[in-house]
Amino acid sequence: MTETHYYQKGFGLKPEIEADLVRDYHSGLVQRLRDGGYRLAAGGITVLMAREFGFCYGVDRAVEYAYEARRKFPDRRLHITGEIIHNPHVNQRLREMGISFLSTSPADPKDYESVRPEDVVILPAFGVTTEESDLLRERGCILVDTTCGSVLNVWKNVERYAREGFSAVIHGRYDHEETRATASRATRLPGGHYLVVRDMEEAELLARFLEVGGDGTALLARFRRACSPGFDPARHLERIGLANQTTVLSSESLAIGERLRQAVITRWGEAAVAEHYRAFDTICSATQDRQDAVRALLDEPLDLMLVVGGYNSSNTSHLAEMPCEEGVPAYHIDDAACILGPDQIRHKPVGQTGEVIQERWLPPGELIVGLTAGASTPNNKVGEVIEALLRCRGVDPATL
């Protein structure tokens, strides 16, 4: 593929698309909260906004590149391999701009056969697997790569593990686009392997095996869909390197790393740790910043918390977990339409896959409501949630 067929740094068209981005994603009300110290009081409700929320740099960049690509190639067919980020409103806007999606979910096969050499294909912020990348390059199409820099950093570490004979243990969801792309970096090198652990419970199973070794049949059965082809626990867990899906809960990832490290010490001794275990901090800084901002918000006497973002957004789901751990009622909602009124809210409870309707969610009287949004949530959707919240108390947002 020639250099002119691959674009990783945009097209320098941001001044030309700036008005479109403002129209589609800006919120004057959110800006007002920022200017007012991340606090707004009306109708007996005080809204406290997390100081880091919403679009991160990587998401901003991915969305901008998609808009630039549409402007750069107005007469070409534009595709994206899957969701550019995990927000339904942003993805729908791209469809309205004439960008087709080659897949509508990570589990669906991508329709690469329909891609022509003259077409433009956008790679999402999560990245794509090495197999997908190779296939697209073979088709000779124009590639616009929006893969986040934090994800690229994880890939470098995983490839380093493989080169040095360490299997990658990846903390994340094995079926998530980013984790699948990361895992493919381990197997692109001869002898490279990976195993994906979803949470502390699965990490504990792995740690116990590390401590005693032996027959890995039971472990392999548990992780059969979350490990590399030909994975042999007895051989491929002798030397491991920890990596992360960039949007996981940092405290859990640190705990997993420490548990695996202690298991290595139990099995091989403190002096042999470097020979058997490696770890690098690969949590995205924006993910960390948003989690830290929620922790700071939880120091306030909150009555409840709203977390805004796509239900398939990993980083948003983890933000919703944090107040629940502190005993603060939290409602993860997709958008303002989920607020049905002062007596009902439609939300996705932590740990569940579907929505439920909560009755009497908004207590009467003076309330302090915390508010945050995942890194893939645009400001206009956050603003609409604030407006819906205030309407529950009879406040017309236009009068603010």
* Interstrand relation of 367-373 and 45-49 (parallel, antiparallel or unpaired): parallel
Q: Return the residue matching tokens 């790393």.
A: 257
Identify the three-state secondary structure at position 294.
helix
**Helix pair 379-391, 14-25: axis angle to 10 deg:** 20
List residues bridging with 356 in a β-sheet: 347
- The one-letter code for the residue type at 186 is A
Catalytic residue flag (residue 300): no
DSSP code, position 377: -
Question: Among 52, 178, 202, 384, which one carries the catalytic annotation?
Answer: 178
Both tokens of 7, joined, read 């674009």
> What is each CA distance from 38 to 96, 168, 253, 379, in whole angstroms?
33, 40, 29, 14
The rounded distance, in Å, linking the Cα atoms of 97 and 284 is: 29
- The one-letter code for the residue type at 150 is S
Sign of CA dihedral 126, 127, 132, 137: positive
Both tokens of 374, joined, read 């995942």
Asked if residues 129 and 184 have their Cβ atoms less than 8 Å apart, the reply is yes
Both tokens of 391, joined, read 């309407």
User: Which residues are catalytically annotated?
Assistant: 178
